[in-house]
Structure formats: structure tokens, C-alpha cells
Amino acid sequence: MNCGYVALIGRPNVGKSTLMNHLLKQKISITSRKPQTTRHRILGINTTEAGQAIYMDTPGMHDSEKRALNRYLNRTADTTLLGVDVVVWLIDGLSWHEYDEVIFKKLEQAGLPVILAVNKVDKVKDKDTILAFFAEARHRFPFEQMVPISALKGTNLEQLENAVMQLLPEGGLIYPEDQITDRPERFLCAEIVREKLTRRLGDELPYALTVEIERYEEQPEITKIYAIIWVERSTQKNIVIGKAGEMLKKVGTDARHDIEKLIGQKVYLQLWVKVKKGWSDNERALQNLGFND
């Protein structure tokens, strides 16, 4: 069998989390249209007859390091290249971006086999342009393979999986064959709440927002979850709560439904919104809130 670790890298918001969820055929990473949705390194374990590919979903690689949270996201993305066997570089469409030059340099230094996955090819009408782009890409980097995909629609994902498996080293299973991720349920529950906040609040979303599970009580008939939504200013708190608490109620309902699907049990979910000034630019506060991959 072939078994090993696969880093999913790319700029923010190119579809890495969507890709991993579709490869696993199960939702592990939260998704939204907003950049910086993924903040932690999350393992997604896909075991088949051919072997075990352990995908690592990462924050997007970007050049902004103005705040402690941004520096944490970059560190998490960069260190993902340490100790993996294969890299899948996901790009959005048939064009390069300015920061891609930095990624090229990081990959050259890493010396790992790299598969280029070009996302959203379902939107490309002229397929000859894909071939032309691949020909140009071969001159820029020695990619092992280049695969046009649609992460959302599942196009060519089997081809991508086969390309990954061929590059993984031979060996026994690293994780039990029925394990899907390395993250505990309480972490996934916090992420689900943050996803619903991101989707409900849209452009009003305060990026300086995180979710902490204060208590997680498993009972025979119900799981009780008490979560704190941390923001940095009282004005952000008002946005999250909404008029007469309506926004917070909607977020709670959305999250509870997904959490019940995740754990297969009825859930009681209690949400509070609290202010912790400057937490996203404070290294110690970040560690206390679980940003310590």
C-alpha cells in the first residue's frame, strides 16, 4: 500500500477546504466565500484499497503579516511543507497571481513532488486554453502532474487522487482505516459555529472573531455545548447578536443542525458573545484561544 501526507496549499479562498471535503466525501473543513475561513491545519484521512492519503488543509498563503493572527496563519501554512510526502498546489483558474511567485520559491526550497491542480475548469469554455496554460506551467516548475479539476462539482477528482497515490511512499496504514480526521468533535463544533457566523454575517463579518467551546457535555440522549463567540469591540458584538438577538438565534439554529449531523445525536447549543480587546494581535491570547498548531 502507498501511505503518506499530502499538503493542500494555495492562496486564500481558492477552494482547498472544498477540495478536501469532496475528496473525503465528508465535511471536515468549514467553507465560505470569505478569505481566512480556514485558520488551523486540519487532517483529512482518506483510506482506500490502494492506500492512505492524509490530506492537510491549511490556511491560505499570503503576504500580510500586520497582526499576530496573520503571522500565525502564515506560520501554519509554511510549516505544513515540513514532513509531508506530496504537495497539491491548488490555483483558481488559468492565471498566476503576484504572490504565486513566493509559493514557487517555497516549493523549490522544499524539494517535494508537486501536483498542480487547476480549480474551476468547469467555467473554461475553450479547453485548448487549458493545454496552453499547462504548457506554460511546465516551463515555470517541474510539476509531477497537472490536473484540471472542479472541487465543487467533483470533476477529475479521481484522477487527482490517483496522481497523489502514485507519488506516496509504500508503507502500512498510519491511522486506523475508519478514522477521518485528527481533530476532536468539540473543535469541529467550534468550527461549525464560526462557519455559520461567516455565512450569515457576510460583508459585516468582523474578521477579529473566533469561537471557543467552554463546556462540552455528552449525555445518553443529548449533547450539551456551551460556546463563546469572542470579538474585539462592542460594536462587533452588536453585529453578531443582531436586532433583538435574531442574528445569534439564526446562527445557533444553523450550527445546531450541522452539529447534530456530525455527532449523530440531539444537541443543545448555547451561544454567548463576549469582547476580548485586541485578541487577534496578541500572541498569548491566540495561544489561550487554541491557536497553537
- Predicted local distance difference test score (pLDDT) of residue 37: 82
DSSP string, 119-167: E-GGG-S-THHHHHHHHHHHHH---SEEEE-BTTTTBTHHHHHHHHHHH
User: What's this model's pTM, rounded to 2 decimal places?
Assistant: 0.89
Please check whether residue 16 is in contact with residue 59, taking contact to mean a CB–CB distance below 8 angstroms: no
Alpha-carbon radius of gyration of the chain: 20
DSSP 28: -
Give 215-268 pLDDT, tens digit per residue: 999 999 999 999 999 999 999 999 999 999 999 999 999 999 999 999 999 999
- Predicted local distance difference test score (pLDDT) of residue 204: 64
Choose among 208, 219, 215, 207: nearest CA to 271. 215
Segment 17-31 shows an average pLDDT of: 91
The percentage of the chain sitting over the pLDDT mark of 90, rounded to a whole number, equals: 62
Torsion of CA 159, 161, 167, 171, to 10 degrees: -140
Torsion of CA 89, 116, 21, 16, to 10 degrees: 30
Q: Given strand 266-275, what is the order of strands in its sheet?
A: 210-218, 222-231, 266-275
The residue type at 38: T
Give 84-135 pLDDT, tens digit per residue: 999 999 998 888 988 888 889 989 999 999 999 999 888 888 888 999 999 9
Tally of CB atoms within 10 A around 102: 14
For 20, residues 6+ apart whose C-beta sits below 8 A from its C-beta are 8, 28, 29, 42, 44, 55, 57
- Name the E strands within the chain: 2-9, 42-47, 51-57, 86-92, 114-119, 145-148, 210-218, 222-231, 266-275
Confidence bin at 65 (pLDDT 50/70/90):
low
Q: What are the backbone angles phi and psi of residue 106, rounded to the nearest 5°? A: -60, -40
Which residues, listed in sequence order, are joined to residue 47 by a DSSP beta bridge? 52
Which domains are assigned to the chain? 2-167 (3.40.50.300), 185-288 (3.30.300.20)
Burial class (CB in 10 A: 0-12, 13-18, 19+), 112: middle
Q: In this predicted model, which residue has the larger pLDDT, 202 or 159?
A: 159
